[in-house]
Amino acid sequence: MTQEKISGSQLSTVLFILVMATGVLFVPGITARMALQSAWLVPLGLPLLTGLLSLWAIYKLGRRFPAQTVIEYSPLILGKIVGKGVGLLYILFFLITNILVIREFSVFLTFTLLPETPGFVLNIAVVLLAAYIVSQGVEVIARMAQFILPLFVASLSLLLLLSIPEMAPRRLLPFLEGGFQPVVKASLVPSAWYGEIVVLLLILPHLNKPRELPRKGVLALVWITVFLTLDILATLLVFGPYLSGQLTFPFWTLARFVQFHKSFSRLETLVVILWEAGMILKVALLYYAACVGSLQWLRKVSFGWVLGILGGVQILGACKFVGGQIQLAAILEHVFPFFALPFEIGLPLLLLGVARLSKAGRVRDK
């Protein structure tokens, strides 16, 4: 697994799918509830800054510790005991985050296409499929992202274009009615989504040209911001801020709502299939990060055992510790940002700061 390499372009597609696979579904409703008609401004501020700051810290750490992951260089920076503790925390972070993503997958599929299918069946199915993808390595994950990305972007673009006749600019007024405070408040949740690029701490050694990370990473973040802003704008312009905030999946509802004449309607089935493919890829990527981290933390252990045990843990967590749609939405809105952001920004900046002060690693981060 350590010999596999991916290109900068592949990395960009992976990061785009990582954030947008679930962001396109959950972020519009959450931001509309908090910022109302100003919700479309949210991705342009703190979330983008969060992603850029996390990317910068990860790149600088990668320059100091080339070909190493956070599991390997944390003990070099913080000492063996504390460093191993940080590595374990990151493994748990990726596992818990993936449990939430698995539940997002099953909740969305139950809500849209398979209302009679028990959630645990969908949880097991996505973990088994992701386990197979993980067993094939990061190169396969990257190639899958390259295949899915054009279809994913095309579906988003088509929905945006078809929704134009239903849009009413008056639904964005009054502009900044409550000032910037609601926008800042609503930024917390999407910031946690942007921060998921912290998975780079585990996959950066696979990048064949590490110097491409800043350019390719910024490119991915910019396109994420563009599409997420358009996503939120479309739901606001069609449904208005109040209805958008009440809908469970506003952009999916938009997919059901729009049509092109009478011969080209009910696009939601095709859209759901494409979006679920993106979510499967996201599950596989986080699963991969947890497996790589566990292998490096435990050392002399079989990959098959790690893959199987972590798969079982994720299935159990998704089935037993995350409830239905209402509880999941509450966790994503009120708990996940406070859980995720310390791992996505706080710890990378801390590791970088301590590494600079102690002059750990190669001093190549200028």
Specify burial of residue 304 (Cβ count, 10 A radius: 0-12, 13-18, 19+). Answer: exposed
Residue 164 Cα distances to 106, 121, 160, 247, 251, angstroms: 30, 38, 7, 20, 14
Which residues are bridge partners to 264 per DSSP? 260
Domain ranges across the chain: 8-358
What phi-psi label fits residue 7: left (phi over 0), alpha (psi between -120 and 50 degrees) or beta?
Answer: beta
Residue 218 Cα distances to 57, 97, 119, 345, angstroms: 13, 23, 36, 16
DSSP label at residue 180: S
Per-residue model confidence (pLDDT) at position 134: 96
Tokens representing residue 59 in the block: 């790149």
Which residue in 195, 221, 215 sits closest to 97, CA to CA? 195
Which residue in 314, 304, 326 sits closest to 120, CA to CA? 314
Q: Give helix then strand counts, H and E, for the chain.
A: 16, 0
CA–CA dist 143, 292 (Å, integer): 19
Which residue in 217, 250, 256 sits closest to 329, CA to CA? 250
Write the CB contacts of 74 (distance below 8 Å, at least 6 apart in sequence): 82, 83, 84, 86, 87, 351
Torsion of CA 265, 268, 274, 279, to 10 degrees: 170
Amino acid symbol at 58 = I
Per-residue model confidence (pLDDT) at position 54: 96
pLDDT tens digits for range 13-40: 999 999 999 899 899 999 999 998 999 9
Which residue in 20, 37, 13 sits closest to 174, CA to CA? 37
Q: Is residue 217 within a helix (H) or strand (E), and if so which, with residue range? A: helix 213-246
CA–CA dist 61, 22 (Å, integer): 28
Which residue in 102, 89, 97 sits closest to 315, CA to CA? 102
Tokens representing residue 279 in the block: 């979510």
Calculate the CA 118 to chain-centre distance: 25
**SS3 call for 50:** helix
Per-residue model confidence (pLDDT) at position 226: 96
Residues in the chain: 366
Per-residue model confidence (pLDDT) at position 260: 55
The series of mean pLDDT values per 10 residues for the chain, 366 residues long, is 82 95 90 91 94 96 93 94 96 96 93 88 96 95 94 88 88 85 92 95 93 95 96 93 89 78 61 87 97 92 93 94 86 93 96 90 60
Question: Is the CB of residue 34 less than 8 Å from the CB of residue 301?
Answer: no
What architecture is domain 8-358? Answer: Up-down Bundle (1.20)
Q: What angle do CA 285, 291, 295 make, to 5 degrees?
A: 145
Per-residue model confidence (pLDDT) at position 133: 96
